[in-house]
Every structure is written in structure tokens, then in C-alpha cells.
Amino acid sequence: MDARRPDEGQVPLLLRVGVGAVWLYEGLVGKLLAPDPELLHLAARWQPFPGSPAAFLGVAGACETLLGLLLIRGWMVRSAAAVQCALLLLFSIGLGIVMPSALVDPMGGVSKNVALFAAGLCLLLLGSGREESSRRPWAARAVPLILRLGLGFVWIYEGILPKWLFPGSAEVEIVARTWLVAYHIPIFLKLLGLGEAALGLTILAGLWVRGLAVLQVGLLSVFTAIIGWTSPHYLVDPLGGLSKNLGLLGGVLALYRTGGGPLALDAWLARSPAWRRWRLQASLQWNRLVEIAAVEVYRVQAQAAVDGNVRALLEKLALDEVHHAEDLVPLIRRHGGRPVPLALLCRGVAWVLGCLTVIVGMRACLRFDLWMEERGGSLYIWCAGLLPPEAGITARALLGMQNQEAQHVRLLRDHLRAMRPPAPRRRR
């Protein structure tokens, strides 16, 4: 990997922290501080050495804690990754033999080992990220593929086996305890399984990799928070199905940094003029809808603003975004499309967002607006990168909009600095 690319330089760090957190949590909480009685029973039956099961678990927990610390600190990364891969392989095969029911565990305690194993292989290739060998071109091609294979397998496995082929009562009870689905829980689980399998297939194919990485972060975070709150006994599950989501999150964030890689469907489609044209159309449509939503947010906030300067700023931002939305319409038509009729829906969603930001406070409103303007500027840059060389008129129009978004960012930052309370004077 090229050292000048900081995004790829963060990949080993994300993998180390994510996987190391799993070993640290499982070693400390799962074996040293709060060992599960079921885990003690398993240790008594299958431990390879004579002695007390509690003592055996204590030694195993200390070793797992040490492994997690080595990974998080970046010490002996390749050696720790090799040990991790061997342990995961041993645990998965051993559990499949002595306890086949673990293969369809509702929390994916065994299937998630595949994603952790993939992260370990990537760390074997990359090391801590500081070595020269981690910057080789073949490593840059292999890491995204390995991550996609590991994560895609987990989503497909969890979507098909526990929810379609071997459905059990445990998942129904988990969903029932959340109170989010009151009726037809088995049907809901089957539909959820189809969605997970489709997500896994798309990841394996390498399509929309970064967008799906954001979706995976949201899903894993929501699943972990809801199940940890409503079914807290899974926090000390002997298979570690819930804690392993930390490792999956590290792998997903690393995949967001690397993208799909040269062996992904995205890379193949990027060379297709028709696909680039479709992406350009979609990005122009998206930019227009974002601008329509921003107008409604600014109008709601301007009506609630007490300070005259803030109100004038929000009204100016709303007027500029109206012009942007209008200017994007001829650009969409110029590239063979029609504006999608979703303006009313965007205004409704934006009105709710505007009301929520007003409730939080005007300073929070401006911070949200600053984030929105920064994302808007990056969207215009990304959209301009999809243009063919001959589209000079569209490129100039997008550059003008991006410059105006940058001006909005400066104005919002100036107002936020002006609203900052003065620092208290020190008494002499």
C-alpha cells in the first residue's frame, strides 16, 4: 500500500482494535470476571488437561486477554494474528464436532468466527501497517477481497441457516423481548433472513461496498444495543456471539476504507460507460433531493431563530439551496434523465428533522447545518468525478455549487465561533 494514502494506513489499526477488543472482552468478562455456568460445564467435559475447570478457564481467559492487548497495542501483530487464526479454526471445528447445535446459534457465535478469521488473515498480510511489506500492491488487492469473503459469508450463513433451514425458538424469544415486532415473528425472521442473505451476496459480489459498509455499521450497532438491553444474558454468552460484533465492526470499517478492491464488481462496472452514466444520473438526482430537504430544514430553523443574524444566515442558506435545486434540474435533463417526483416526501422528512434540531437548540441546529453543508460539498466533488471529459458545462456548474457550499461552511463556522461563550477570566 502507498504510505501517502492515510485511508489505507488506518486499515490495520481498525482491524487490530476490532479483533483485539473481542479477545479482550471474552478473556476478561467471559472467563475471568463472570464465567458462564454453561461454559464451566463445557470445560469440565472437554478440557484437554486435568484439573479444575475454573482454573482452566482462568488460564484461557488470561491468554485471550494477553492476545487482545497485543493486537490493540500493535505488538507482534503477525504472530498474534497467526495464533488467533489457529485458535478460531480449532474452536470452530471443535464446537461443530462436540456441540453441533452451536452451528445454528441465534447470535452467530460460530459463523462470526469466519469474519474474525478473515480479519486475522488481513493482519498477517499487513502487520501493524508500519512495515514496508504491508505496502505491496498484491496486499492492497487481497485485503478487500478477504474482508468481503468473510463478511459476506457471515450475512449469508446467518440469513439462511438459523432463519430458514434450522429455525428455532431462541430467535423468536429474542425478537419477542424487544417488543418491536408484536405479531408474526417467524415470518419477520424469514424476511430478515432474506435481507441478510441479499446483503451478503451483494458484499461478496463487491457492489456498493462503501454504502453497504455504512449500512452494516448501523445494523450491527442497532442489533448489539437492542439485544444487549433486552437480553443481557447474551453479553456473557459462552460462544461470544454478541461481543464478536466488535470484530465485525472493525472489519466493516476497514472495508469502508479499502473499498471493494480491483476484484469487485464495482471496479468492473466502473469501466462501463453505461454504468458511469447511470451513477452520474443517480448522484445528480440525489443532490437535488438533498438540496430540497436542506431548504425545508433551513426554513424551519429560520422561523424558530431568535437572533436576527442567525435568521438572516439561515434565510440566505435556504435561498442558495433553492437555486441549487433549480440549477440541477437542467443538468439532469442534459444527461438524459428526469427529476424524480420525490420532492414532497423529502420536504416532509426534512420538516421533521428541522423540528428535531430546533428542539435541541440553535447551536445544535448550526452544527447539524455545518455537517450537512460539508457533506453537500463532498457530494458535488464526487459527482464531478463521474463526468466524462466532454461535459465541461456540467463540470463548471457543479464547481460553482461546490464553491458556494464551501462558502456556507465558512459562514456557519464563523457563526458558531461567535456563539461560543467567552472563557472565564482567571482570578489573580
Question: What are 343-372's pLDDT values in tens digits?
Answer: 999 999 999 999 999 998 999 999 999 999
pLDDT at 393: 87
CATH of domain 273-417: 1.20.1260.10
pLDDT in tens, 150-191: 999 999 999 999 999 999 889 999 999 988 887 889 999 999
Enter the pTM of the model. Answer: 0.76
pLDDT at residue 128 is higher than 60:
yes
Q: Which long-range contacts (CB under 8 A, 24 or more apart) does 381-385 make?
A: 382/283, 383/280, 383/283, 383/284, 383/287
Contact 62, 90 (CB under 8 A): no
**Rounded CA gap, 144 and 142, in Å?**
6
143: its cell numbers = 485485503
**Rounded CA gap, 126 and 124, in Å?**
6
Three-state secondary structure of 171-186: HHHHHHHHCCCCCCHH
Burial of 122 (0-12, 13-18, 19+ CB in 10 A): buried
Q: Using alpha carbons, list the distances in angstroms from residue 133 to 13, 124, 127, 139.
A: 16, 11, 8, 8
300: its cell numbers = 424551519
* Helix or strand holding residue 123 (H, E): helix 112-126
Alpha-carbon torsion, ordered 296, 301, 304, 307, to 10 deg: -140
Domain extents in the chain: 6-269, 273-417
